[in-house]
Structure 1
Amino acid sequence: MPAPLELDPTASPLAFFGAELRKFRKSAGLSQEQLAEIIRFSPSLVGLIERAQRTPSKDLVQRCDEAVGAEGELLRLWPLISREASPRWFREWLDIEQEAQSLRTWQPLLIPGLLQTEDYARAMLRGEPGVTEEQVEKSVQARLERQIIWSRPNPPMFWVLLDEGVLQRPIGGRVTIRHQLEHLVQMAARPHIAIQVVPMAFCATTGLLGGFVIAQLAGSPDIVYYESTGHGQMTDRPEDVAAIQMKYDAIRAEAHPQHVSIELLREAAKTWT
């Protein structure tokens, strides 16, 4: 049987992880079959991961790390490879999101990803036509990994404008949406997160065509990410950013104050009990 082709570790983050896993496995004197038996996954899956043909779950990475004695080296690569589960057009925004000093967002349809619970994210992603369960789980883990910014010593300031209709849309069912709304109340208690609800009585059409995020970075112009059907777009063109900022200010002017908004979130959670 011919020897397997050597993987180019510079080809992608997933290829780098595959090469590192193979290096640590061989140093530990383990075959793919032996490693698979230890971590309780199939040998074929281990092979696919080493060949950069499959993105591993965080649980699998942790098991591999312990099995080969990597002392955390493999696990430290998880944030890098989890981005492979995100659409290519979204990966550049992930870097900006991690570096931002502040983020301002308007969401007319959904809870923003940085504040989603695991069950809410899973239910939302399952709604995409043709998506497989494996794709859903990869995307859920990638979304949860984005939320590590809240564990930083200096997380960004996050200003959230949320349409009141989002509170009444039972994505995932009554239990899931109740837990999601309770999670929002808990997150809003943090000093760097502010959530304001825009009442449904707000009759203007400003912002109804889609959500957006404005990122402020140190020493750089603001960057806007806005959503459209099937994908998102980014821009730092001054005229585009100014237009989105004006739209944000117009929507925020109609939003409830934060203390009123938090009470609305609590009341909405109770309605799903």
Structure 2
Amino acid sequence: MPAKPDVTPVISPEVAFGRELRRMREAEGWSLDALGARVGYSGTMIGYFERAKRSVPETFAARAEEILGLNGELVALWKEINPKAAPKWFRQWPKIESQALLIRTWEPLVMPGLLQTEEYARALLHAEPGASDEQVEEMVRARMTRQTIFRRADPPMYVAVIDEGVLHRPTGGKAVMRAQLEQLMTLMDHPKITIQVVPLEVGATPGLLGGFAIAQPLSGPDTAYLESASNGQVTDRVDEVRAISVRFDAIRAWAHPVHVTRDVIRELTERYGQ
């Protein structure tokens, strides 16, 4: 019997920031309005920040730090909400992921970010031209933080379709790839995660031009993220998302069923161990 998935409650960075702000404000004995008067925001808006109902400006985090006499605590939490390591065009996507009921993703070249091990992510990010060790580590931490959505009590349904070529590319070397494929097999036991592989024999598919993901929220329109060599695109335009969704279904039609995918991954895992 597969082990039960870890459902440790996960606090989002937004909630963590709000709780810390409230704790520090109350420690000073200040009302919402009293803190607001000192930092130049209304008490109502600060209440929104504390309940994670509004995006927190960087200027507010810095000013609150100063007024509350802190040493970087709030700014550090703000950076978790808005990681500088991520490109500006990508920063909204983790928030969309965290609020999704269903995420569907296709990857023709690399392992999907939500499935990567630390070492795989580190090897991949070190390949970025000009990336320093410090930048790489910050990006790795941000990527691992995104993966905490699977440890929530209510994780989203996640469907990943991966080109088999991704499994054959020895990113980081044999040991890193073996650990990565072992993680895939573990994740396949999660009741909310489905992983399928498109075999190499298929040849050309509708997905060879690039990876993408589609997030379906509880309410509102679906949103898609499209990858490219220089920058990505996040869109909720109905016509664009519909076209991407049709493409996903067309690609998935070529994929191995789950039980065959597991066999393919297991066989390659053994090869990387030789």
Q: TM-score range by the shorter chain?
A: 0.7 to 0.9
Partner of 1:136: 136
Q: CA deviation at 1:80?
A: 2.0
**Closer, same or farther: CA 262–130 of 1 in aligned 2, 3 Å:** same
CA contact (8 A) 2:163 2:198 kept: yes
**Closer, same or farther: CA 131–76 of 1 in aligned 2, 3 Å:** closer
Partner of 1:252: 252
SS in 2 for 1:243: helix
Q: Residues 201-220 of structure 1 correspond to what in structure 2 (within 5 A)?
A: 201-220=201-220
**What is the TM-score with the length of structure 2 in the denominator?**
0.74
Partner of 1:92: 92
CA contact (8 A) 2:61 2:78 kept: no
Partner of 2:70: 24
Partner of 2:119: 119
Q: Residues 65-76 of structure 1 correspond to what in structure 2 (within 5 A)?
A: none
Partner of 1:161: 161
CA distance in 2 between partners of 1:183 and 1:148 (Å): 15
**Closer, same or farther: CA 188–166 of 1 in aligned 2, 3 Å:** same
- 5+ residue gaps, structure 1, are 1-6, 26-49, 51-64, 66-72
Partner of 1:79: 80
What is the CA RMSD across the aligned residues, in angstroms? 2.6
Partner of 2:14: none
Identity of aligned residues (%): 46
CA contact (8 A) 1:111 1:166 kept: yes
- 5+ residue gaps, structure 2, are 1-38, 42-55
CA distance in 2 between partners of 1:22 and 1:130 (Å): 38
Which has the bigger relative contact order, CA under 8 A and spacing at least 6?
A: 2
Deviations 1:111-164 (A, max 9, x none): 111110000000000001111111111111111111111111100000000100
Single out whichever of 86-95 and 207-216 deviates more from structure 2.
86-95
**Closer, same or farther: CA 237–176 of 1 in aligned 2, 3 Å:** same
Give the counterpart letter for 2:124 in structure 1: M
Give the counterpart letter for 1:158 in structure 2: Y
SS in 1 for 2:219: coil
Partner of 1:12: 58
**Closer, same or farther: CA 20–180 of 1 in aligned 2, 3 Å:** farther
**What is the TM-score with the length of structure 1 in the denominator?**
0.74
CA distance in 2 between partners of 1:16 and 1:150 (Å): 31
CA contact (8 A) 1:13 1:80 kept: no
Deviations 1:22-45 (A, max 9, x none): 8234xxxxxxxxxxxxxxxxxxxx
Give the counterpart letter for 2:80 in structure 1: P
**Closer, same or farther: CA 114–129 of 1 in aligned 2, 3 Å:** same
SS in 2 for 1:88: coil
SS in 1 for 2:95: helix
SS in 1 for 2:70: helix
CA distance in 2 between partners of 1:18 and 1:123 (Å): 38
Partner of 2:199: 199
Give the counterpart letter for 2:143 in structure 1: R
Partner of 1:171: 171
CA contact (8 A) 2:199 2:256 kept: yes
SS in 2 for 1:213: strand
SS in 2 for 1:204: coil
SS in 2 for 1:135: helix
SS in 2 for 1:194: strand
Q: CA deviation at 1:215?
A: 0.6
**Closer, same or farther: CA 11–154 of 1 in aligned 2, 3 Å:** closer
CA distance in 1 between partners of 2:228 and 2:113 (Å): 16
Single out whichever of 118-127 and 241-250 deviates more from structure 2.
241-250
